[in-house]
Structure formats: structure tokens, C-alpha cells
Amino acid sequence: MPSQINQDDINKAVWNACDTFRGVISADTYKDFILTMLFLKYLSDVYRDEYNKLVEQFGDNPELIHAMMSKQRFVLPEGASFWDLYEQRHQPGNGQRIDEALHAIEEANGTKLKNVFQDISFNTDKLGQEKQKNELLRHLLEDFGKDILNLSAERVGSLDVIGNAYEYLIKHFAASSGATAGEFYTPPEVSNLLATILEPVEGDEICDPACGSGSLLIKCGAMVRKNSNSKKYALYGQEAIGSTWALAKMNMFLHGEDNHRIEWGDTIRNPLLLDKDGKHLLQFDVVTANPPFSLDKWGHEDASSDPYGRFHRGVPPKTKGDYAFISHMIETLKPATGRMGVVVPHGVLFRASSEGKIRQQLIEENLLDTVIGLPEKLFFGTNASQLRQKLNKSNKIAHLISRWAILL
């Protein structure tokens, strides 16, 4: 039996794989290549491991083996696994072969992986001319083909190890992405605080309408399992950016969160988490998000005639979408029992005009329980000790939250 992998070792190995692209293209571009390759490697190692076990058990019955492999959590068509690509790495056409393999995997897994790889192409001119591109991708395949990144179930032990490595990569990509990091990542300190405040429990339906790469939803799921030792809950989300939506889908599967529904689209202009008739918004036990701060061009032009009635307290200003997300989230809470937590900029507390009217209405309806101030520059380089002190204070009042909270 192979020795189990150490979390630090796998984190270091996947981060070192980025060296292939450093100095050639930006981290914003190559992050999708690294994260997708980690996902493909995981699928391939688990699939190969299961296949070898079945061969040992039923070696004289290939039809039975084929039938049993077709019922695996994920199906890999012949020629589409990481190892098929690895064996051909010295041949021309690595980019095209990887793209074709990803497309075949999408097709073979139905709705589970539908469109997940459509915004990622390894056969792109961003990697240079054909010779350079082929060399870069050969090195990438070799990096992930090393023994240290054997991601078979026996070697990894717990699926959390793979999920943690994926989150580790996302965190480091966010750290180097500057202001754009907020499009796909919520710092774990904030996610943990929100999950603590909202106390998701067994049976809850949990939604993040601006879910990014899904880290906040995953933290909420982990909180349910920690407190009740149960996986009886469901995760829902929507994400506007296609490549980020794909990261969220892969992130869910790598954390073992198969009971999820993550939609791709603009939550304000086109909410997709609807009932069977498509006429009413779904409502949830827990709604939480770190939406884009003060989003410009959020959909003001259509808000007054919103078919779901989300803006009956008032239409937010054209260039500030904070209360658009807040209004949407409130309307998706289950009546009387739903809990909500949202991260927004300080301006939602004092800006006047239409925002002031919405704010007054929320207070008069007694919908707001708590406002928690977070440290400055929390998302990009906040002092760790300052953050811990503030979060400790925040956690002490977490038990007071019964309805919804704003984190600023």
C-alpha cells in the first residue's frame, strides 16, 4: 500500500507546478490551467485505481469490469485520462489533445460536468507559438505526473486533502491577483466567521447568489458536518463569470460536495435558482455572500419592472449594486426562519437617497440583527494578529444573530 500523502507536500507540489508558466503568462491566465489539470489528475488517478482493483478481482470478465466502471462517480472515456495525455506528451499537439480529452469527459458525464471546461482551452495562443506551447504543456504534464502527486484514494486518504490543495491554490492566486481576487475568492477567515454566525444545521438548504469559486458554500457545508456529523444538506449558488463558475463546480466535487446546484448567470439580471415553473425565486434556510462591492452597471435599467418583486423597498442607485444583492438575498430567505449574512462596504450604512430609503425600510421591518465591522484591507494583506483579535470579538456575538447580518 502506498504511503499517504502529506497536506503540505501536495500543496507544495501543486504550487511548484506553476513554475512552468511563471514569467511566460500572468497568474490570472495560468490559474485555470493549473486548477483544471489538478481536477483532471484527481479524476484520472481515482479512475485508474478503481479499474486496477476490479481487474484484480474480475480479471477474466472484461464486460463486468466495463459495466462497473461506467457506474463510477465520474466516467473517463478511453484515451481521455491524464495518463493517456502523459504518454503522448513528447508528440506535437498537446494543447489540442488536452482540449479534446476535456470535451470527451464533459460529454461522458452528462449534466454533472456540462460546460465545466468550455471556458478553458490549453490550445491557446496565450501560451505562445506551437513549439513553445507544446513544451510548456509537456512540462505541466510531467509536473503532475510525479509520484508526489499520485492522488489515488489510498494515497490521499481523505478527499479533504485534494480539496484543501485546490483551496490552497485559489488562495495563492487570489493573493497575486490584486483587486480582481474578489471576483473568485473569499478569505477563509471571513468564510469561517459567516458560517459560525449563520450556524447551518442538518437539513438546511444553503445559498450563495454570488458564489465565486464556492469557498463560502463549502465552509458552510463543513460547519454542518462538524456540528451534526451529517451530510444531509444542499448547497446552491450562482456565478456570473463563466471561468469562475467552472472553478466552483470543480471545487465542489473535489470537496465531495456532490449535492449542489451551481448556476451560471447574472443573479440580478437573470436569477436562475427558481421553482419548477420558473416563476418564483427559491427560498433557503441560509443565504450568504460576498458580492462584488458597489458594482457599477448591475441592472438598474430593468429593476423597476423586476418580475420577482425584489426591489419593492426601492431601486438601488445605478452605479452602486450593493443593495441590489442585499434585496435579492432577503427575498430568497425562507419566511421567519431564514438566516442571512452578507459582506458589503461601509457605504451601505450611510449613503443617502434611494439607499437611505431602503435602509430605513429594512430597519422598520426589523430585519437587521447585527452589523460587524471587519479590519481594513482584510482581503489584501491585513495584519494577521489584528484580524484574529477582531474575529474573536465577532465570534463572541455570533450567538446573537437570528435573522441576518451585515459584515463591513
The secondary structure of 58-100 as a DSSP string is HTT-HHHHHHHHTTSSS---TT-SHHHHHHTTTSS-HHHHHHH
For residues 120 and 115, what is the distance between their CA atoms, to the nearest angstrom?
A: 10
CB 14 within 8 A of CB 169: yes
Q: Which residues contact 385 (CB under 8 A, 6 or more apart)?
A: none
Q: Is the pLDDT score of 281 beyond 90?
A: yes
Distance CA 300, CA 53 (A): 57
- pLDDT at residue 394 is higher than 60: no
Give pLDDT, residue 5: 79
**Max Cα separation, the chain?**
76
Answer for the pair 243, 119: CB distance below 8 angstroms, yes or no: yes
Q: Region 286-295: what's the mean pLDDT? A: 93
Report the distance separating Cα 193 and Cα 260, nearest Å: 22
Q: Between the CA atoms of 110, 114, 118 and 122, what dihedral angle is there, to the nearest 10 degrees?
A: -50
Are 136 and 124 in contact by the 8 Å Cβ rule? The answer is: no
Q: What is the pLDDT of residue 373?
A: 87
Q: For residue 181, which of 169, 196, 193, 192 has the smallest C-alpha distance? A: 169
Q: State the pTM of this model.
A: 0.89
- Give pLDDT, residue 26: 85
Mean pLDDT of 51-60: 87
pLDDT value at residue 408: 52
- 403 has a pLDDT exceeding 50: no
Please give the pLDDT value at position 186: 82
Would you state the pLDDT for residue 401? 36
Dump pLDDT digits (tens) for 316-365: 999 999 999 999 999 999 998 999 999 998 899 999 999 999 999 999 99
pLDDT top residue among 71 and 316? 316
pLDDT higher than 60, residue 387: no
Residue 389 CB coordination number (10 Å): 12
Q: Which of 74-78, 251-255, 395-399 has the lowest mean pLDDT?
A: 395-399
Q: Lowest-confidence range among 6-15, 278-287, 312-321, 384-393?
A: 384-393
Count Cβ atoms below 10 Å from residue 216 Cβ, excluding itself. Answer: 28
- Given a cut of 70, whether residue 398 has pLDDT beyond it is no
The answer to which of 5-19, 80-94, 267-281 has the lowest mean pLDDT is 5-19
d(CA 206, CA 185): 18
- Rounded to whole angstroms, the Cα distance separating 156 from 112 reads 23
The DSSP symbol for 234 reads E
The model's confidence at residue 379, banded by pLDDT at 50, 70 and 90, is low
Within 10 angstroms of residue 150's Cβ, the number of other Cβ atoms is: 18
pLDDT digits (tens, 9 = 90+) for 79-109: 999 999 999 999 999 999 999 999 999 999 9
How far apart are the two ends of the chain, measured CA to CA in Å? 50
Retrieve residue 179's grid coordinates.
Answer: 483587486
Say if residue 399's pLDDT is above 60: no
Nearest to 140 by CA among 250, 28, 14: 14
How far apart CA 42 and CA 373 sit, in angstroms, is 40
Element (H, E) at 395: helix 384-396
Strand partners, 260: 235
SS3 (DSSP) at 340: strand
